[in-house]
């Protein structure tokens, strides 16, 4: 079970509930395919914060009760009303209506009293028992606003009037007559000073004073060059402080005003070109000192700073958004959309989770699904200037161009096609760049040298280079010597390996067969005799070669070096033979005749081709073969390495009676020879048997 999350900068947005796709199959088909749900990853990873938080087809509006304990939502199909209880995290009840709901307002602190505007020009009042009263208005209504001070219900419709229904007197009052022939799209009332506002289709906003029942101001967005001619005002919202006002237009722009100034303070573009459906001031507490504002169209809901318009977070489902509701004093949003399940988003950076689901603060990080870094791997980011150069401005607002920050994301394949049409030579330029990139990559893989061989660079640890050549080959050894990471090991004397140190001997108790053996005193004297008199060593020769000395001197040095090597080789062979003979003599002197005979017998069956140490020992031990024939039950075998194997046949020892000296001076053996075994040998001992005549 995981929480889907997205990240915008350092802000994490968690999708607590809601599916990313809407169900395209009818319910009766979905019920037949319940067995297939075990393979559905979205179903297995679902988190149901509130049970049955969905509608059959789509949801229209959603609002939270003033006391914060209930949520009411309307949807279709069939048209119905859902009430959710936060204390039980479940659906409390559902009611069906005759027509689809357009807008509604909660009149009481809880869910018990509400008024609903239907799409058949009717207004329904719902109470605990069901529908309480129903009335009609002359034209199709679009929005509802309730004034708690004088109990007036304002209904914005498609005409040039705002209808007033007073709930205290139970009758319609004189409507507000607007200076337009078009309808009203959005209405709102300021709870601080009671100023009523209406956003109109002609791109203007009118402000009315309910106490005087007359217009106090009119704001024309087209005259202020904020919107284009023909754009409409689709949403309006007052801030809690009573001084700030925001409105949204049909071309996707959100504009913030200070009521004391006719010029806007911030203009924010949603990026998709769709109408702004909802504006919410994110006041974290009753004092209303939050600096964030949320604007939503049918594609995305953005949270940004109200002073400079800097983006803070975004919520973008895969289905169209119909309404967004913010839970005060928290970081949670409810979203009604065109999908089956309603969405729930949680932004910890805005505030804590509501008290009825406080456990979310502990599980969000544990259940978070890490966002993939390759979300836009198949997309390419283009700026607005690039869109104009590629002649794809007509695609702005469609699914092809996804708005993001100051530009758009476009599919990589589509970008290649459009770029090829706009720039016919772009393919050849790209091909040249790819060829150059591959050539540079191949050059990097080559072994780069300074012109001299690796042997000229080796000043220390030449034995290590020899071992690398034997184990890995010449190429690998050369690459190791030329590598910048290891070159100091073969150039700096500080890295010289001391073979006489105790640590080196512990790590290398036996040298490899190709390693150089230490010379004896006689060999060292011979080497001194054959050394050149000029005193040049191999290191100086190698340095002189790298410095570019004359070729004749180099040839003489090489010949002299070869002669020294041959002489040293001859000396080493002779000294080795003498050493073997001395060791054989010592071994023969220490061997017994039996050991020599055993070694001679074994050597007859295993005669080596060369004159080895074992062969010499076996030939020298032939004279003791007679002793081996005498004792055939024992065999001793010794090898050239000093190992010995002894084979023998064990024999049972004869039991001999202990000698006893008698008084007459004779022992028990002499007495047994004289008398035999007729009587007990040991006189004076007690008999174990009761038969006194036994043994007589």
pLDDT of residue 587: 62
In terms of domains, do 412 and 387 share one?
yes
pLDDT of residue 608: 44
Percent of the chain with pLDDT over 70: 68
pLDDT of residue 616: 63
Tell me what the mean pLDDT of segment 182-197 comes to.
Answer: 92
Q: Tell me, yes or no, whether 545 lies in a domain.
A: no
Q: Tell me, yes or no, whether 575 lies in a domain.
A: no
pLDDT, one tens digit per residue, over 363-379 is 776 666 554 444 456 78
Q: How confident is the model at residue 24 (pLDDT cuts 50, 70, 90)?
A: very low
pLDDT, one tens digit per residue, over 481-539 is 888 888 788 888 888 888 888 888 888 776 544 444 555 555 555 555 545 444 444 44
In terms of domains, do 151 and 237 share one?
yes
Alpha-carbon distance values, 660 to 666, 669, 687 (Å): 8, 8, 19
> What number of residues does the chain have?
696
Q: How confident is the model at residue 558 (pLDDT cuts 50, 70, 90)?
A: confident
pLDDT, one tens digit per residue, over 618-632 is 666 665 555 555 555
CATH of the domain at 155: 2.130.10.10
pLDDT, one tens digit per residue, over 31-40 is 555 666 666 6
Q: Tell me, yes or no, whether 463 lies in a domain.
A: yes
Number of H helices, E strands in the chain: 18, 34
pLDDT of residue 302: 94
* Token pair for 325: 């509701």
* Token pair for 600: 């001679």
Percent of the chain with pLDDT over 90: 32
Lowest mean pLDDT among 222-226, 227-231, 557-561: 222-226
What are the CB-based long-range contacts (under 8 Å, 24+) for 570-575?
A: 571/522, 571/523, 571/526, 571/527, 572/523, 575/520, 575/522, 575/523
In terms of domains, do 390 and 259 share one?
no
Tell me what the mean pLDDT of segment 563-578 comes to.
Answer: 74
In terms of domains, do 353 and 211 share one?
yes
In terms of domains, do 346 and 397 share one?
no
Tell me what the mean pLDDT of segment 251-273 comes to.
Answer: 90
pLDDT of residue 297: 94
Give the chain's domain count. 3
Tell me what the mean pLDDT of segment 218-246 comes to.
Answer: 83
pLDDT of residue 566: 80
Reduced to 3 states (helix: H, G, I; strand: E, B; else coil), residue 158 is coil
Tell me what the mean pLDDT of segment 671-682 comes to.
Answer: 51
Q: Count Cα atoms within 13 angstroms, Cβ side, for 440.
A: 6
pLDDT, one tens digit per residue, over 266-307 is 999 998 889 999 999 997 554 445 789 999 999 999 999 999
Q: How confident is the model at residue 559 (pLDDT cuts 50, 70, 90)?
A: confident
pLDDT of residue 294: 94
pLDDT, averaged across the chain: 77
In terms of domains, do 498 and 419 share one?
no
Q: How far apart are CA 83 and CA 62, in angstroms?
A: 10
Tell me what the mean pLDDT of segment 186-195 comes to.
Answer: 92
What are the CB-based long-range contacts (under 8 Å, 24+) for 223-228?
A: 224/262, 224/263, 224/264, 226/253, 226/255, 226/264, 226/267, 227/203, 227/251, 227/253
Q: How far apart are CA 533 and CA 433, in angstroms?
A: 62
Q: Tell me, yes or no, whether 298 lies in a domain.
A: yes
pLDDT of residue 167: 93
In terms of domains, do 283 and 398 share one?
no
In terms of domains, do 235 and 295 share one?
yes
Q: Tell me, yes or no, whether 408 lies in a domain.
A: yes
In terms of domains, do 194 and 249 share one?
yes
Q: Tell me, yes or no, whether 657 lies in a domain.
A: no
Reduced to 3 states (helix: H, G, I; strand: E, B; else coil), residue 316 is coil
Q: How far apart are CA 131 and CA 108, in angstroms?
A: 15
Q: Tell me, yes or no, whether 688 lies in a domain.
A: no
Res 543 pLDDT > 50: no
Better pLDDT: 19 or 83 = 83
Tell me what the mean pLDDT of segment 193-203 comes to.
Answer: 92
Tell me what the mean pLDDT of segment 386-390 comes to.
Answer: 87
Q: How far apart are CA 187 and CA 672, in angstroms?
A: 141
Tell me what the mean pLDDT of segment 639-667 comes to.
Answer: 62
Res 92 pLDDT > 80: yes
Location of structure tokens 């394949």: 413
Q: Tell me, yes or no, whether 205 lies in a domain.
A: yes
End-of-domain residue from the set 369, 392, 414? 369
Res 208 pLDDT > 50: yes
pLDDT of residue 21: 44
In terms of domains, do 344 and 393 share one?
no
In terms of domains, do 10 and 156 share one?
yes
Tell me what the mean pLDDT of segment 237-260 comes to.
Answer: 91
pLDDT, one tens digit per residue, over 406-454 is 888 888 888 888 888 888 777 787 788 888 888 887 876 665 544 444 4
Q: Which domain range does residue 387 map to?
A: 379-426
In terms of domains, do 129 and 272 share one?
yes
pTM, to two decimals: 0.54
Beta strands across the sheet bearing 214-220: 184-189, 196-200, 204-209, 214-220
Strand-pair category, 204-209 with 214-220: antiparallel
């Amino acid at each position: 079970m995981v929480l889907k999350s997205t990240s915008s900068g350092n802000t994490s947005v968690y999708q607590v509930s809601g599916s990313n796709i809407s169900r395209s199959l009818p319910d009766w088909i979905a019920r037949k395919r319940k067995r297939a749900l075990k393979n559905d990853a979205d179903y297995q990873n679902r988190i149901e914060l509130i049970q049955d938080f969905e509608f059959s087809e789509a949801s229209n509006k959603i609002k939270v009760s003033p006391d914060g304990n209930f949520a009411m939502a309307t949807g279709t199909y069939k048209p119905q009303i859902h009430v959710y209880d936060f204390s039980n995290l479940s659906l409390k009840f559902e009611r069906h209506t005759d027509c689809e709901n357009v807008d509604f307002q909660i009149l009481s602190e809880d869910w018990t009293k509400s008024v609903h505007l239907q799409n058949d020009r009717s207004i329904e009042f719902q109470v605990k028992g069901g529908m309480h009263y129903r009335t009609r208005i002359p034209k199709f209504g679009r929005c509802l606003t309730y004034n708690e001070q004088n109990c007036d219900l304002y209904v914005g419709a498609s005409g040039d009037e705002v209808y007033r229904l007073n709930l205290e007197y139970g009758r319609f009052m004189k409507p507000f007559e607007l200076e337009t022939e078009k309808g009203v799209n959005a209405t709102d009332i300021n709870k601080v000073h009671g100023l009523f506002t209406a956003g109109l289709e002609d791109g203007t906003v009118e402000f009315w004073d309910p106490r005087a029942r007359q217009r106090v101001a009119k704001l024309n967005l087209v005259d202020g060059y904020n919107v284009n001619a023909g754009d409409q005002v689709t949403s309006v919202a007052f801030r809690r402080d009573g001084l700030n006002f925001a409105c949204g237009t049909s071309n996707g722009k959100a504009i913030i005003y200070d009521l004391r100034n006719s010029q806007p303070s911030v203009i924010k573009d949603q990026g998709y070109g769709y109408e702004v459906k909802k504006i919410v001031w994110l006041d974290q507490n009753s004092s209303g000192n939050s600096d964030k504002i949320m604007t939503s169209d049918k594609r995305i809901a953005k949270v940004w700073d109200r002073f400079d318009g800097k983006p803070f977070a975004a919520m973008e489902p895969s289905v169209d958004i119909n309404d967004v509701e913010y839970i005060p004093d928290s970081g949670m949003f409810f979203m009604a959309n065109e999908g089956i399940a309603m969405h729930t988003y949680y932004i910890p950076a805005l505030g804590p989770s509501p008290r009825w689901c406080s456990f979310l603060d502990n599980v969000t990080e544990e259940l978070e699904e890490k966002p993939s870094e390759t979300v836009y791997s198949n997309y390419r980011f283009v700026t607005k200037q690039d869109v104009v150069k590629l002649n794809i401005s007509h695609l702005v607002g469609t699914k092809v161009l996804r708005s993001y920050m100051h530009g758009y994301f476009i599919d990589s394949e589509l970008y290649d096609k459009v770029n090829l049409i706009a720039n016919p030579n772009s393919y050849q330029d790209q091909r040249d760049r790819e060829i150059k990139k591959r050539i540079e990559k191949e050059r990097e893989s080559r072994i780069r040298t300074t012109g001299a061989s690796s042997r000229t660079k080796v000043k220390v640890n030449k034995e290590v280079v020899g071992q690398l050549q034997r184990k890995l080959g010449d190429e690998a050894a050369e690459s190791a010597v030329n590598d910048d990471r290891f070159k100091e090991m073969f150039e700096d004397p500080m890295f010289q390996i001391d073979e006489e140190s105790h640590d080196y001997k512990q790590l290398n108790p036996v040298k490899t067969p190709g390693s150089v053996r230490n010379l004896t005193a006689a060999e060292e004297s011979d080497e001194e005799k054959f050394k050149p008199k000029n005193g040049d060593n191999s290191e100086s020769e190698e340095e002189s070669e790298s410095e570019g000395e004359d070729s004749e001197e180099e040839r003489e040095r090489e010949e002299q070096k070869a002669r020294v090597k041959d002489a040293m080789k001859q000396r080493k062979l002779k000294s080795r033979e003498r050493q073997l003979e001395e060791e054989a003599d010592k071994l023969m002197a220490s061997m017994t005749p039996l050991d020599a005979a055993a070694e001679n017998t074994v050597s007859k069956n295993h005669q080596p081709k060369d004159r080895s140490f074992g062969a010499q020992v076996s030939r020298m031990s032939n004279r003791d073969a007679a002793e081996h024939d005498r004792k055939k039950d024992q065999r001793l075998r010794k090898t050239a390495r000093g190992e010995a194997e002894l084979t023998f046949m064990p024999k049972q020892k004869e039991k001999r009676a202990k000698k006893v000296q008698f008084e007459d001076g004779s022992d028990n053996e002499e007495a047994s020879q004289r008398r035999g075994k007729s009587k007990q040998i040991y006189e004076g001992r007690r008999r174990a048997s009761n038969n006194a005549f036994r043994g007589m």
